[in-house]
Amino acid sequence: MTAWLDLVLTLLSWSLLLCGAFFFIAGTVGLLRFPDIYCRLHAVTKADTLGLGLLLPGLALQADSPDRLGTLLLVWLLVMGSGATACQMLARYARETEAPVDDP
Amino acid sequence: MTQVLFYLILGVALWVLGLHGLIRLHQPIRRIISVNIMGSGVFMVMVALARRSEDPDPVMHALVVTGLVVAISATAFALRLAVTGQRSEEDRE
Amino acid sequence: MIHEWLLDGSLALLILTLAVAVLYVRSLYASIVLFIAFGLLLALIWARLGAPDLALAEAAIGAGLTGTLLLAALGRTPVSQRAEPAFSGARQYVRSGPAVVLSLLIFWILLQAVLPLPEQSSAVVRAAEQHLDAAGVAHPVTAVLLNFRAWDTLLELLVLLLAFMAVRQLLPSLPRAPEAWPLLLGWSCLLAPLIILIGGYLLWRGSSDPGGAFQAGALLAAGAILLRLTDLLPAMGWHHAWVRLLVLGGCAFFLLVGLFTHWLGAGFLAYPEGWAGPLIILIEVAATLSIAITLTLLVIGETREVRG
Amino acid sequence: MTAALAALLIPLFTALGLLLLRSRSGPLVILTSLATLAAACWALVEVTTSGPQSLHLGDWPEPLAIRFQLQPITALLLVFTALIHLLVAVYAARSRHCRTRDTDYWPLSCLLQGSLNALWLSSDLFNWYVTLELLGLAAVALVALSGRKAYGPALNYLLLSLGASLVYLLGVALIYGRYGVLDITLLATQTEADQSTRVAFWLMTLGLMLKAALWPLHLWLPKAHASAPTAVSALLSALVVKGPLFILWRLWSEAAPVELAIETGPLLAIAGVAALLLGGWSALRTPWLKSLVAYSTVAQLGYALMALGLLMHWQLPALDAALWLFVLAHGLAKASMFLAAGELQATLGSKRVSALRGTTETMPVAMFAFAVAGGSLIGLPPSGGFLAKWMLLEPMLGQSEHWPWVAGILLGTLISAGYVFRVVALAFDRADPVPPDFKPDRFAHWLAMLPALVVWGLALVSQPLIAWLTGATP
């Protein structure tokens, strides 16, 4: 029973990790290929939130002690917070210094 | 080839790259970055040497911490000097 | 085995690519951003090589503060002077031929020199292990920094002070920051106590585990810079006595300890028996505050005295 | 050892105190410089009476601790540093052209002295790296004091100095990798002439040569020294470049394997001769007064480098005395020359050599100081410069196969006579003197004269001095 549970957990963990990695790569491609700053920000923040959001549960499933879980949670919260703040600042700066891109 | 030797060679390669940059480049900020890369190369050699024994060598680690602080101090000064120098050239024009 | 090499190999490939890109990419801005990535990757390599102290220091100092300094310098560089005059075309590469050949030659000579090194061992390491019990702290790197080779560390604090004095005479590096936007303010308010907490934790942990004065100081500096940029912290002008006391405190306390240990007969910087632990902690606290304030002032540069 | 520690700590505490109190008090620095000088003299007496001493910092045993070593040469250099620093401090406190009132000149110069003293005392490869960085940063910060026009040369100096430190540091890392020690005395018992050691010593040598502005790595020096404030130029030329030279000397005369030293010696000696000729040639051609003096530093360092190279090649301890006599004589003469040149150009309001026409009439004392110091640089008997040159020539005169070195020295002497007389001849052209912008400062001129007179005074004590130096160097 436990062996079976272990297998499921491992599989689940690895699929989460792979999904997370996919979003990171997609975000990076978006950062490099998208035409203007707003699209790029969109791509990057998606990568951060979703990619990390999938990676961390994936790692959490493999964690061996509760304080690891706490650390991972803290990492997730901090990256989300600073990512959101930085994105907002960049977007606002772009909007205040340049002419609006599409909508008037 | 062992891991130690691998990183020793990598460190030397970074050092040579940095040296090449310091000699070949002209833009002050780029030259400052080159010096930093050169420093990273030396530090990598030192950290790789620390890895030779079973427990990593604390002496080398301590020396690299010292080196890092020296590097940031010098970088801060050099950058300020570079920026202020450029400003004064611009003012004169 | 093979996945170990996979990791080492990809780290090496990445760092070399990044180094070349940092040096020769066309735009200076890209070069700086790549250099920050270079610093982070280097921190990863230090961790991989079993040097968590260095990984912490590199992430905070090498990537974080150096990055801020570089970006601030870029902001003050006129666009006309950002370009590298050397990147003018294909002829450039022909002309750089001799330099490349010379570099390869130097690389080859150095390669010959490092080949026999992995087989050697060090007498200093054995001595350090042997005397660790008497050092007053359990973490060997802290023991080397603040006891075995305390004089190096003292001089290094002086280097930091000197850089600060040198910078003080030049113009401030950051232009006056515009008023901070509410989201940044809120986030900074949330982050600041956490940074102070983690800084204190690193300092406290340094006596037994990786961490210590430099890492803690750099982290505190990062927090202080954030707060200063959002105007949550008052200006730290040199005319305030507390700023001067904090900046000079690390060196001064360390030197006084040296003076008194010599005076009391134990020998220059030889801590009396039983005093090593407490003295090291006191020195570390003073040094952490010094480093934090000095680095903050180095980056935000509000140090120019008003001259009457 | 207490005296030497006092000579090290007094300047450091003075710098911290000045910063803490935001004081810009010249007299205070002069006072503490006097105290440092007294401590250094005491150390010299101590070492002469009771022999060399060493101190393990922190009382840790051999391979672990950083070691301070007080040899006779170290003590002599402590005294020399304190003397020059005191002289320059008196000049800077007095002079109108040193910007001591609106800058951090005082704490910086104290830190410079402290870091030099730390360098003289240390005998640990990595500790030398830190002191070199300290010295380099202090020197660049002092150069940058003279304002915006100096920022370019200062930045160049700083970057090359940093690069040089990293070249040196890679050498240190290789040495540590090969032998596992950093203390130079321990290293001396172990070194072998294999590939790693060879490369490590070459790297350290190249780094130090760049820092000491030894030919062909001297290109940063003239601009940096010439654009600094006058007091700073004197400190840099007289003291700062000697620091790396000292480390170079200790490395090669104590730690390096003999085969390696014999093999590398001629290269250094040839570089020395080249420095003599090419540095002198540039000094002959430059139109700027301070550049002339700075290029003469490059040329004169050639003698020291040549003495070092031949010392290594022939393993002749007698040349040690020649090397250190050169350093002392050049330091004193150059302090004098820079102070005189700075006074002359500030009073005349022009930086060109050609502005010196007729200065023997308008500012006789300053011009005389310049000429007297120049006499020692040329090596006219019975100056200190002559003594040093004589010590260097003595072992070569007997053997005819050494004629190329002798020829190099003589040619170098000729060129240095050329650039000194270029200035002096102009100064005697009294037909149409350039009028000074304002009243010359007599006191400063006499101050500039002082070290020049000391250099010539060295001749009076030549016999005991040479005997002491020959006995003193290990």
Contact C150 D19 (CB under 8 A): no
Contact B70 D130 (CB under 8 A): yes
CA distance D189 to chain B (A): 21
Please report which confidence band the pLDDT of residue C26 belongs to, taking 50, 70 and 90 as the band edges.
confident
- Asked, for residue D269, whether it belongs to a domain, the answer is yes
* Tally of domains in chain C: 2
Provide, as residue numbers in chain C, all residues whose Cβ is less than 8 Å from the Cβ of A83.
none
CA distance A82 to chain C (A): 8
Contact B33 C22 (CB under 8 A): yes
Predicted confidence at residue C95, as pLDDT, reads 64
- Asked, for residue D14, whether it belongs to a domain, the answer is no
Any residues with CB less than 8 A from the CB of B28 and at least 6 apart, and which?
B78, B82, B85, B86, D155, D159
Residue D11 CB coordination number (10 Å): 28
What is the rounded average pLDDT of the residues C113-133?
83
- Asked, for residue D343, whether it belongs to a domain, the answer is yes
Phi/psi at D275 (5° precision): -60, -45
- Listed residues C33, C48, C77: the one ending a domain: C77
Contact D57 C268 (CB under 8 A): yes
CA distance A81 to chain C (A): 7
Share above pLDDT 90 across residues of chain B, in percent, rounded to a whole number: 60
Q: What is the pLDDT of residues C28-76, one digit of tens each?
A: 888 998 999 999 999 999 999 988 888 988 988 878 889 988 988 888 8
| pLDDT of D133 higher than 90 | yes
| Per-residue DSSP letter, C82 | T
CA distance D153 to chain B (A): 10
What is the rounded average pLDDT of the residues C77-106?
72
Whether B73 contacts chain D with CB within 8 A: yes
Contact C152 D102 (CB under 8 A): no
pTM (predicted TM-score): 0.93
Predicted confidence at residue C306, as pLDDT, reads 42
- Asked, for residue D127, whether it belongs to a domain, the answer is no
Where in chain A are the domains?
2-97
Contact C183 A85 (CB under 8 A): yes
Structure tokens at D418: 């050329």
Query: What distance in Å separates the CA atoms of residue D258 and residue D254, rounded to the nearest whole number?
Result: 9
Please report which confidence band the pLDDT of residue D94 belongs to, taking 50, 70 and 90 as the band edges.
confident
Contact A81 C181 (CB under 8 A): no
**C148: nearest CB among D20, D58, D127:** D58
| pLDDT of C92 higher than 70 | no
Which residues sit opposite D282 in a β-bridge? none
Contact B77 D158 (CB under 8 A): yes
Greater confidence (A63 vs D364) lies with D364
Q: Chain C, 191-220: which have a CB under 8 Å from a chain A CB?
A: 191, 194
Predicted confidence at residue C304, as pLDDT, reads 55
Contact D195 C113 (CB under 8 A): yes
Q: What is the pLDDT of residues C198-209, one digit of tens each?
A: 888 888 888 888
Chains that touch C (3 or more CB pairs under 8 A): A, B, D
Predicted confidence at residue B35, as pLDDT, reads 95
Query: What distance in Å separates the CA atoms of residue C261 and residue B57, rounded to the nearest whole number?
Result: 28
**D64: nearest CB among C127, C238, C262:** C127
What is the rounded average pLDDT of the residues C270-298?
89
Give the N- to C-terminal CA distance of chain A in Å, as an integer. Answer: 61
Provide, as residue numbers in chain C, all residues whose Cβ is less than 8 Å from the Cβ of D16.
248, 251-252, 255
HSE-CB of C275 using CA atoms within 13 angstroms: 14
Whether B47 contacts chain D with CB within 8 A: no
Q: Chain C, 187-216: which have a CB under 8 Å from a chain B CB?
A: 212, 214
Predicted confidence at residue B93, as pLDDT, reads 47
Which domain range does residue C204 map to? Answer: 139-308
Predicted confidence at residue D38, as pLDDT, reads 95
- Asked, for residue C286, whether it belongs to a domain, the answer is yes
* Percent helix, strand and coil across chain A, each to the nearest 5: 85, 0, 15
Whether C241 contacts chain A with CB within 8 A: no
**C122: nearest CB among D103, D144, D180:** D180
Residue D235 CB coordination number (10 Å): 30
- Locate tokens 């690193």: which residue? C202
| pLDDT of C307 higher than 50 | no
Predicted confidence at residue A103, as pLDDT, reads 44
Give chain D's mean pLDDT: 88
Whether B64 contacts chain D with CB within 8 A: no
Best to test chain C binding among A85, A89, A90, A96 (most C CBs inside 10 Å): A85
Give chain C's mean pLDDT: 84
CA distance B93 to chain C (A): 13
Whether C121 contacts chain D with CB within 8 A: yes
- Asked, for residue D274, whether it belongs to a domain, the answer is yes
Contact yes or no for C15/C41 (Cβ under 8 A): yes
Cα distances from B83 to residues A82, B27, B32, C282, D138, in angstroms, run 29, 11, 12, 37, 19
* Tally of domains in chain D: 1
Give alpha helix (H) positions in D214-285.
Answer: 221-227, 230-235, 242-250, 258-274, 280-285
Please report which confidence band the pLDDT of residue B86 belongs to, taking 50, 70 and 90 as the band edges.
confident
**C158: nearest CB among D59, D103, D111:** D111
B:D CB pairs within 8 Å: 71
Q: In terms of domains, do C174 and C276 share one?
A: yes
Q: What is the pLDDT of residues D309-318, one digit of tens each?
A: 988 888 887 7
Greater confidence (C80 vs D29) lies with D29
Which domain range does residue D425 map to? Answer: 258-474
Give chain A's mean pLDDT: 83
Query: What distance in Å separates the CA atoms of residue B87 and residue B83, rounded to the nearest whole number?
Result: 6
Q: In terms of domains, do C156 and C293 share one?
A: yes
Residue A64 CB coordination number (10 Å): 6
**C160: nearest CB among B19, B73, B89:** B73
**C166: nearest CB among B9, B40, B77:** B77
What is the rounded average pLDDT of the residues D320-344?
89
Predicted confidence at residue B1, as pLDDT, reads 67
Whether C140 contacts chain B with CB within 8 A: yes
Query: What distance in Å separates the CA atoms of residue D98 and residue D100, rounded to the nearest whole number?
Result: 5
**Host H or E run for residue D245:** helix D242-250
Whether D148 contacts chain B with CB within 8 A: yes
Q: What is the pLDDT of residues C222-266, one digit of tens each?
A: 888 888 888 788 777 788 888 889 999 999 999 999 898 888 877
Greater confidence (D51 vs D42) lies with D42
B:C CB pairs within 8 Å: 232
What is the rounded average pLDDT of the residues D416-444?
85
Query: What distance in Å separates the CA atoms of residue D471 and residue D82, rounded to the nearest whole number?
Result: 23
CA distance C236 to chain B (A): 18
Provide, as residue numbers in chain C, all residues whose Cβ is less than 8 Å from the Cβ of D114.
158
Q: In terms of domains, do C147 and C259 share one?
A: yes
Contact yes or no for D304/D272 (Cβ under 8 A): yes
- Locate tokens 């002439």: which residue? D193
Query: What distance in Å separates the CA atoms of residue C96 and residue A96, rounded to the nearest whole number?
Result: 43
Provide, as residue numbers in chain D, all residues whose Cβ is less than 8 Å from the Cβ of B74.
133, 137, 158, 162
Please report which confidence band the pLDDT of residue B88 belongs to, taking 50, 70 and 90 as the band edges.
low
Q: What is the pLDDT of residues B25-67, one digit of tens each?
A: 888 899 999 999 999 999 999 999 988 887 888 889 999 999 9
CA distance C306 to chain B (A): 18
Predicted confidence at residue C303, as pLDDT, reads 52
CA distance D155 to chain B (A): 6
Which residue of chain A comes nearest to C185, CA vs CA? A85
- Listed residues C77, C108, C126: the one ending a domain: C77
Contact yes or no for D419/D296 (Cβ under 8 A): yes
Where in chain B are the domains?
3-92
**C169: nearest CB among D9, D64, D104:** D104
Whether D439 contacts chain B with CB within 8 A: no
| pLDDT of D265 higher than 50 | yes
Contact yes or no for D95/D444 (Cβ under 8 A): yes
- Listed residues C77, C104, C128: the one ending a domain: C77
Whether C183 contacts chain D with CB within 8 A: no
- Asked, for residue C267, whether it belongs to a domain, the answer is yes
ipTM of this complex = 0.91
Whether C165 contacts chain D with CB within 8 A: yes
C:D CB pairs within 8 Å: 152
| pLDDT of C308 higher than 70 | no
For the domain made up of B3-92, the CATH class stated in words is mainly alpha
Any residues with CB less than 8 A from the CB of C91 and at least 6 apart, and which?
none
| pLDDT of C15 higher than 90 | yes
Q: In terms of domains, do C47 and C168 share one?
A: no
Contact yes or no for D297/D338 (Cβ under 8 A): no
Whether B17 contacts chain D with CB within 8 A: no
Q: What is the pLDDT of residues D179-189, one digit of tens each?
A: 888 999 888 88
Whether B63 contacts chain D with CB within 8 A: yes
